[in-house]
Structure 1
Amino acid sequence: MSAHTPAPQAQQAFTAAAQAWRESRMDAAEQGFAAAALLEPGWSSAHANLGAVLRRLGKCEAAVASYRRALTVGAEDAGTLSNMGNALRDLGLLEESETAHRRAVALAPDNWGYRYNLALLLRDRRLHGEARAMMAELAATDPENAEIQWDLALADLYLGDYRTGFAGYEWRIKLARNPVRDHPGPRWTGDDPTGRTILLLAEQGFGDALQFARYVPLLAARGARVVLECLPEQAELFASLRDVAALVAKGAPPPVHDCWAPLASLPHLLGTEFHSIPAEIPYLSAPPRPNLRMVPPPGQKLAVGLVWAGKTTPRDRSWPLEQLTPLLGDPRATFYSLQLGPRAGDLKSTGLERLVRDAAPALQSFADTAHVMEHLDLIITIDTSVAHLAGALGRPVWVLLRYVSDWRWQDEPLTSPWYPTMRLFRQPDPSDFKTPVAEMAAELASLIDERH
C-alpha cells in the first residue's frame, strides 16, 4: 500500500471489492478493485488484488499488467510475484513465469505455496528432476496434502517411474475436484482375484477410459469375472473389449459383484512399470455400420482424418486450424474432418470446408468414429481422446502435442509405449505452431509418394 492513507472513496471501493471476493462475486470484485486502483493509482494492493480477480475471470493479459503496476508503485512483494508468475504460466510465457516465481521464492524461501507454484512451473519447463525434488520436499513437509501428493505422482510418471507414480496416482481419490464416488461393498486392493466378480468404476474422461480399458483382459486373465462401468457414449464401443462379462452404464444399478475398483487404479493394482505397459493392440474394434460408408474420390491415395481442437481446460489442447493448411497441399490425400463441438465451425470460417470433407455430422458416438477410423489410412489429431481411440484400434495416428503436454506423452520421444501405431509431433516452443506442422507435412508427402 502507498505511504499515504487512501482516499475514503477508494477505501470504500476496496472494502466492498474484498467482500465481493470472499462471496465469489467476481464481477463486483473486479469493478471495486478497478475503481480503487483508478482513484489511487499509487496503491499497490489495489492493483495486486485487481490482478487476482482478472486472472480468476480468465483475463490473464490484463492480470499480468495489473501485477506489474503493483510492483511498479509498491515494494517488491513475493505474493504479487508468485501470482504474476501463475498468470504468465497461464499465458504460456514460461521463461517470464520462471523468473517471477524464482524471485518470489528468493524473497520468501519458507513459504511453501510459492515453492509449490515454482515446482508446477518447472514441470511445464520440462525441468522434471528439479520439479520432482521440490515436490518431494513439499510432500514430506505436508504429507496429507492431496494436491501436493498428486503433483508428486505426476512428476514420477513424467520421469517414467511408473511403479511409484501409479501408487501416488491413487491420491486423485482425495482431490476435492476429482473424488472417486463411494461405492458399497469391499474395494479390490490387488490380491488374488480368482473366482471373484469385480466391478470396474468409470471415473474420469473419455480418453482415460480408452487408455485404461486395456487392463480388463489382464484382470480377466488372472481369474476375475469383470463387469465394466462406462460412460453411455462409449458403451457400444466397449462391447468389443475382450473378456468383459457385462457392461453397465455409469450411474445405473450394477449387477451383483464381489468387490470393486476404479478403472484408473488398475495400472497400480496390476503392477505396471514403464517397460511392462500392456500394449496388445488393437484391444478395441469398431462395430459394423453398414449405412456409414465412405466413398473415395477419384485419385485418392491416402484418406486422412483430422481433429484440431480438444479441451481448453485445464490446459488448451487445440491448434489453430489455419496453421494446418501446409498439410493440405497434395490433392492425392483426402482429408476428412472428425472434429466435433463448437470448433467444427472453424472449417467454414477459414474456408477450408472446400478442402476438407466434413464427416462429423455422421458421428453420433465413439462407435461411429471408430468405424470411420477403420476406413482411414491415417488420423491426425491434437485431441487426446481421439488419439487414445485411434491407438486402441491400432490405427496409424499422428498426434500434435502442445509444448506442455500430459505425462502419458512425456517430453522427448517421437513414439508412445502405450500405442505402437502412434507418432508424436511436438511444439519446440509454446508459441511455435509451424515447426511440428512442417515436420508432419514432410512426412505426409513421403507417405503419399509411397502410396503412389
Structure 2
Amino acid sequence: MLVAHAVLQNAPVEAYAHWLRVLKPEGSLCLRCNSFDAIKSALVQLNTVIADIRTLDNHSFVLVKKPYDAGDPSFLLTLGAEKEARQAYDEAIELYRQAALWHAANEQTYYRQFMLYQRLGWHAPAEKAAQQFYLCRQTPALKFQQAQLVLQMQDYPRGFRQREKAVANVALHHRSPFPPEGDDILAKRWQRQSPKGKTFVIWSELGLSDEIMFAQLAHLFKRQLGVAKLIVLAHADAAALLQTHPDIDEAFDVATWHEHLTEFDFWEFPYALLTRFDRPFETLPKRHPYLFAEKAQKRRFIGVFPLNRSRARIGLAWRNADIPEDDIRSVYNVQDLDALVAAAPDAHWVCLQQNLTAAEKQWLEKHRIAQFSDEIGGLADLAGLMAHLDFVVSTDTPVIHLAGAMGIEGAVMLSAPAYAWNWGIAGSKRNMWYPTVENWHAPHPLASWREIISEAAQHLHAHLHNRTF
C-alpha cells in the first residue's frame, strides 16, 4: 500500500492503524514524505504493530507489519481490564492502545478507553475515544451509540441532537410501543414553534425509567415555556403516578391514546425534547421533588413500620421486574445481596421488588425483610410504600428513578457492562437528574455483582454511620 505525502500531512496515528489493518502479516506500507521527522511521532506509538522500518530514499519509507495474528481483541481488552482492577492504569491504557492498533475497526477498544479516561477525569482523551468509537466503522448503529457517549459526557445539546439524527429514519413503531399515527397527528410533531398557550403532548417512547426521568421536564414546559395544558402519554403503570406531578395536567395510558387525545397542538417524544434547547441542562429550571405519593396510598403502609424511629428504613430492589435473566443491569442471585444487608443489621429493611420468585421470597424470609409484592399493583402503590423510607438501594431499575423523583435519598448500584448515560460521567458520585441519588460504581470493568455489592455495603455503612433517625 502506498500513501502519498499530501495524505500523510497531519494524519493522526489512527489513520496509520487503519492503513496497517488491511495489510496481511509482513505486508508493507509505503510512505512518501519530505522527512522522517514528520512521521516519527506516529511511528513511536505504532511500535507494537510495526516489525521493521526501511528507508527507500530521502522521501520514501516502508513500514512492515509484524507477523502476528491479531485474532480476537477480547484477549487484550481482558488484560487491560485486569490491569484496571489492580489500578495499574498506565498499563491498562497501553493495552487498550495496542488493542486499538491491532483491531482498529473494533468499537469496543475505543469504548474501554473512553470509560477509563472518564473514570480518571481525563476529558480530552475521553472525547477523542468517543470520536474514534464511531469513525472506526461509521455505521448508523455506532452513530446512535456514540450519541449515548456524548450524553454520558453531559453534553446534552450535542448528544440529543446527534441521537435524533441517528434515529431520523427509524420507523415510529420502533420508538414507541403505541406510536402516533394518521396524517393529522403526525403533522403536529413539534418543530420548535413557541408552545406558549398551547396544548402539548409528551409521547411515551421507551420504558418506565425514562418516563419517570423525563417527567422532570414538565416544569420547564409549563412554567417557563408557558404551555397551557401539558398531557403525558405513558405506560399504564406510570400514568397514575405521573398525575401527581404539579406541572402535568393529564396523564393517560399510551395504549389508549385514541380514546383520550382529542384537541392538541403539538406532540414530541421525550428524547427529542432537549434537542430544542442550547442551554446546558443544569441551568434549566427544575422542580425537586416532582412526583409524590397519594395520601390514600401512604396510609395503606403506615402500619408496616414500628413507631420507634430509631432504626433506618431502607428499601431494596435488585432487578427489573419484567425483563428476562439476560438483563445485565439486574442481580439474579439474591445471595449476592447478603453483604449489603449485613452492612446495616439494625435497619428496618423493606423489599421494593415485584414479581418475586420462590427463591427470592425464601431469602427475604431468612433475612426478615418485609415484602409486599402481592399488595403493590403499580408505581403509584409503590410510591405510597416508599414515602415512609429513609433510603433506597437499587440496581438501575424504575425503583431508583422513582426514589430520585420523590426526593428520597438513595443509591444506584451500577455494573460496568450496563452503564447508562443518564448516570453521568463514569466514576462520578452524582448525576444531573436526581440530586438525592448517589452513583455506586463497579470498581473495575470485570467486577462481578458480588464485588459491586461488597463495595456498596461499605458505602452504605459509611452513609449510615453517625446518622440518627
1:293-312 correspondence runs (5 A): 293-297=302-306, 301-310=311-320
> Could you tell me whether the CA contact under 8 Å between 2:329 and 2:414 is conserved in 1?
no
Give, in angstroms, the shift of residue 417 of structure 1.
2.7
Pairwise CA distance, 1:202? 0.2
One-letter amino acid of the structure 1 residue matched with residue 72 of structure 2: L
Where do residues 349-368 of structure 1 align in structure 2 (5 Å cutoff)? 350=363, 352-368=365-381
1:304, 1:334 within 8 Å by CA — same for their partners in 2?
yes
Indicate conservation of the 8 Å contact 2:203/2:268, yes or no: yes
- Where 1:265 maps in the other structure, the secondary structure is helix
Alignment TM-score, normalising by the size of structure 1? 0.70
When residues 137 and 351 of structure 1 are mapped into structure 2, their CA distance, relative to the original with a 3 A threshold, is closer
> Would you say the 8 A contact 2:404–2:436 is kept in 1?
yes
1:90-122 alpha-carbon deviations (Å, 9 max, x no partner): xx879799999765653464xx4x2x2322333
Unaligned runs of 5+ in 1: 1-74
1:248 equivalent to 2:252? Answer: yes
1:155 matched to 2:153? The reply is: no
How many angstroms does 1:158 deviate by?
A: 1.8
Alignment-derived partner of residue 403 in structure 2: 390
Name the SS of the counterpart of 1:209 in structure 2: helix
The whole-number CA distance in structure 1 between the counterparts of 2:252 and 2:307 is 44
Which is worse superposed, 157-166 or 387-396? Answer: 157-166
Output the CA distance in 2 between the equivalents of 1:126 and 1:314.
26
SS of aligned partner of 2:438: strand
- Given candidates 411, 414, 418, the residue that maps to 2:426 is 411
Offset at residue 388 of structure 1 (A)? 0.9
Identity of aligned residues (%): 22
Q: Which amino acid aligns with 2:131?
A: A
Deviation, structure 1 residue 415: 2.5
Q: Does the 8 A contact of 1:187 with 1:259 survive in 2?
A: yes
Give deviations 1:354-403, integer Å, cap 9, x for gaps.
42111222211000111101111211111331111011111111222223
Structure 2 CA distance, aligned partners of 1:299 and 1:138? 54
In structure 2, the CA distance between the partners of 1:256 and 1:313, relative to structure 1 (3 Å rule), is farther
> CA RMSD for the aligned pairs?
3.4
**In the alignment, structure 1 residue 223 sits paired with structure 2 residue 230:** no
Cα distance in structure 2, aligned partners of 1:391 and 1:77: 49
TM-score normalized by the length of structure 2? 0.68
Task: Name the aligned partner's letter for residue 317 of structure 1.
Answer: S
**Which residue among 119, 127, 133 is the counterpart of 2:110?**
119
Deviation of 1:193 after TM superposition, in Å, equals: 1.0
- State the secondary structure of the residue aligned to 1:376: coil
C-alpha displacement of 1:285: 0.9
Contact 1:400/1:424, CA 8 A, preserved across alignment: yes
- Which residue number in structure 2 is paired with residue 200 of structure 1? 202
1:444 correspondence with 2:448: no
Task: Show CA shifts across 1:132-179 (max 9, x none).
Answer: 424435656877x43222222222222222221122232345458953
Match of 2:243 among 214, 229, 239: 239
Contact 2:340 2:456 in 1 (8 A): no
Q: Aligned letter for 2:283?
A: S
Quote the Cα distance in structure 1 between the aligned partners of 2:420 and 2:217.
Answer: 20
CA distance in 2, matches of 1:443, 1:276: 29
Change (3 A) 1:146 1:308: same
Q: Does the Cα contact within 8 Å between 1:308 and 1:381 map onto a contact in 2? A: yes
Following superposition, the deviation at residue 205 of structure 1 comes to 0.9
Matched, 1:400 2:413: yes
Q: What is the correspondence of 1:323-334 to structure 2 with a 5 Å cutoff?
A: 323-329=336-342, 332-334=346-348
Quote the residue 2:269 is aligned against: 262
Match of 2:383 in 1: 370
1:295 and 1:146 map into 2 onto residues whose CA distance is 51
Which amino acid letter does the alignment assign opposite residue 315 of structure 1?
Answer: I
Aligned to 1:419, what secondary structure does the other structure show? coil
Bigger shift: residues 271-280 or 164-173: 271-280
Shift of 1:346: 2.3
Aligned residue for 2:128? 133
SS in 2 for 1:440: helix
SS of the equivalent of 2:163 reads helix
